[in-house]
Amino acid sequence: MKKIAILQSNYIPWKGYFDLIRSVDEFVLYDDMQYTKNDWRNRNKIKTRDGLAWITIPVRQETLNQTIRETKIANPLWHKQHWKMLAQDYARAAHFKEYKEVFEELYLGATETYLSEINRTFLVAINALLGIATTIRCSSEFTLAPGKSERLVELCRNLGATTYLSGPAASDYLDVPLFAEAGIEVEWMDYSGYPAYTQLFPPFEHGVSIVDLLFNEGKNAISFMKRVER
């Protein structure tokens, strides 16, 4: 039995993204998909004393058809600006000092040219902090078939998957019978029912970057994510 999930890479994503990763045996970053503007690929939300704020990596969108892994960074100083913003807004968080050195090194060393590489670097580092040992792969390692669902089925086959765990948003287009024909069961991730945790600047907000949970709850962060049976 082998369960996999396939998602486009996001920048410092929310806790649900990491719950999905730790729910599977292998996770594929689907960065051969088209880059979408004003989406989660290059930005996320954090809490500030002035309310929710977007923290965005500036990128170049040179063509409408460019993929996530073809998308380049537009401002090489973005990483210094983001670290300064996080250090200011989370300085009072209970566990900020505990992670300060790790994130400072991560940000100041983030000099990659491509967005996809940056997202993966942060993803791997945060997985380690959360104790998530799931294998991370990239769609670029494989030859992709044409068609939305066909590509996903082919990736599942290449990885020897018996179960595909999908985000709920894919229910609008996923061809579940196609997976069944290939002998692959489809399961749906449920992002409801998360407990609240200690958070700066009320009111409480679930849909913020994972860094908010780490800085506020430290090593106890995983207890505010879902229990995953594998």
Please tell me the predicted confidence (pLDDT) of residue 230. Answer: 47
193 CB-side CA count, 13 A: 5
**In this model, does residue 177 exceed pLDDT 60?**
yes
Which band of pLDDT confidence, cut at 50, 70 and 90, is reported for residue 102?
very high
145 falls within a domain: yes
**In this model, does residue 131 exceed pLDDT 60?**
yes
Check if the beta carbon of residue 146 is closer than 8 Å to that of residue 107: no
Query: What are the tens digits of pLDDT across the range 48-96?
Result: 999 999 999 999 999 989 999 999 999 999 999 999 999 999 999 999 9
> What is the torsional sign of CA 147, 150, 156, 161?
positive
227 falls within a domain: no
Please tell me the predicted confidence (pLDDT) of residue 228. Answer: 53
CA distance 9 to 116: 7
Residue 68, domain extent: 3-221
229 falls within a domain: no
Which band of pLDDT confidence, cut at 50, 70 and 90, is reported for residue 164?
very high
Q: What is the mean pLDDT of residues 179-189?
A: 97
Sheet containing 26-29: order of strands:
135-138, 26-29, 3-7, 163-166, 185-188
**In this model, does residue 22 exceed pLDDT 70?**
yes
48 falls within a domain: yes
pTM, rounded to two decimals: 0.95
Token pair recorded at residue 132: 């998530």
In sequence order, which residues have a C-beta less than 8 Å from that of residue 4 and are 6 or more positions away? 24, 25, 26, 27, 28, 155, 156, 159, 161, 163, 164, 165
Q: What is the mean pLDDT of residues 113-126?
A: 98
CA distances from 219 to 119, 130, 131, 201 (A): 22, 7, 9, 21
Which of the two residues, 20 and 147, has the higher pLDDT score? Answer: 20
- Average pLDDT of the chain? 95
Distance of CA 82 to the CA centre of its chain: 17
CA proximity to 197, closest of 188, 210, 186, 184 = 210
Question: C-alpha dihedral over 176, 7, 191, 161, to 10 degrees?
Answer: 50
Q: Phi and psi of 193, rounded to 5°?
A: 80, 20
200 falls within a domain: yes
Please tell me the predicted confidence (pLDDT) of residue 172. Answer: 86
Q: What is the mean pLDDT of residues 22-38?
A: 95
Please tell me the predicted confidence (pLDDT) of residue 227. Answer: 58
Token pair recorded at residue 63: 């063509």
CA distance 230 to 15: 18
CA distances from 108 to 46, 58, 72, 97, 116 (A): 19, 16, 18, 17, 17
The number of distinct structural domains making up the chain is: 1
Please tell me the predicted confidence (pLDDT) of residue 216. Answer: 98
Cβ neighbours around 22 below 10 Å, total: 19
CA distance 192 to 182: 30
